[in-house]
Amino acid sequence: MYRAILAGFAALILWTPDAYAAGRETLGWGRLFNNDFLGDGRDRWRTGSYVISKVTGYGWTGQRPERPGEIIEFRFRSETIAPENIVAAAPGDRRYAGSLSFGIYTHFQRRGTEISLGGDLVMTGPQTGIGDLQPEVHKILGASVPGVLGNQIPNGIHPTARVEVGRQIQLSSNLTFRPFFEAQGGAETLLRVGGDLTVGRFGQGELMLRDVTTGQRYRASRPDYTGFSAVFGADIAHVEHSIYLPVYDGIALTDQRTRVRAGVHWQGKKSSAFYGLTWLSEEFVGQPESQVVGSVRLNFRF
């Protein structure tokens, strides 16, 4: 069944039937890679994730349409969560978790207020195959081979709904502030509020998406400018539930999470690059410290 879900969603992302398309076109692709090795150099907790998004619509005018459904995002995401010591977890640490998610979102606006609305099917456990892949990657890189795969978060499929509401505030031609509010229910249930400050033209006239783990924003449309931009952001969340920290494990999740992020974006005539860092506060009682995760997106065209 799970292989059929994977195959069906992949086909949906890569091919849009004419009957459904009715003039739709691919507006762009978005992607972002996160890994703590690119941040604090460790291999623990929110250790790695990758997201890729395909956005379709009836054209892009530099702003979101007024009606929901005109722009559709198909999102695929994978994530690896691990205890601090992946060879032998210490008592009281979180379990290893691999997850794959497949989502559909629509992005629109109402009187200048930007809205992103949709949901994912989040798959967890050994069925994802992430626990089989990571040891092979570590062997190639000469890193420690995980020894905690026998105690993973179990197999499951977790429907998850998410909505984000934000508004762009243009402070000057090269300075933009965007406060936002997010609500999520399912795999993790939380309410989040925060903001992002951009120095430069990054994000202006573009469709921007938000990464689940770090909150870093990544583009899914084609820009019409060149140069450097700096981005800064922070948010705080009230957390009610997480499948990655089950109550029956005897580990209590913290009811508050904070993220602080910064990054630099370069846009050339054909190529672009982004590197960012995100500080993540502790997610469970007993987590001895926070962590820093690095984010990268490279796009080279010749």
Residue type, 53: S
Write down the pLDDT at residue 186. 97
Dihedral (CA of 284, 285, 289, 290) sign? positive
Write down the pLDDT at residue 5. 43
Q: What is the pLDDT of residues 97-112, one digit of tens each?
A: 999 999 999 999 999 9
Distances (CA, A) of 170 to 3, 116, 156, 196: 46, 20, 43, 12
| Torsion, CA 47, CA 102, CA 116, CA 219, rounded to 10 | 60
The ranges assigned to domains in the chain are 2-299
C-alpha span between 187 and 268 (Å, rounded): 38
Write down the pLDDT at residue 138. 60
Write down the pLDDT at residue 299. 86
Write down the pLDDT at residue 8. 45
Q: What is the CATH number assigned to the segment(s) 2-299?
A: 2.40.128.140
Q: What is the pLDDT of residues 241-271, one digit of tens each?
A: 999 999 988 899 999 999 999 999 999 988 9
**With a cut of 70, which residues of the chain have pLDDT below it?**
1-22, 134-147, 302
Instruction: Write out the H or E segment, with its range, that includes residue 10.
Output: helix 2-14
Dihedral (CA of 244, 250, 255, 260) sign? negative
C-alpha span between 202 and 225 (Å, rounded): 9
Write down the pLDDT at residue 140. 59
Instruction: Write out the H or E segment, with its range, that includes residue 9.
Output: helix 2-14
Write down the pLDDT at residue 22. 63
List, in order, residues 6 or more apart from 18 with CB less than 8 Å away.
Answer: none
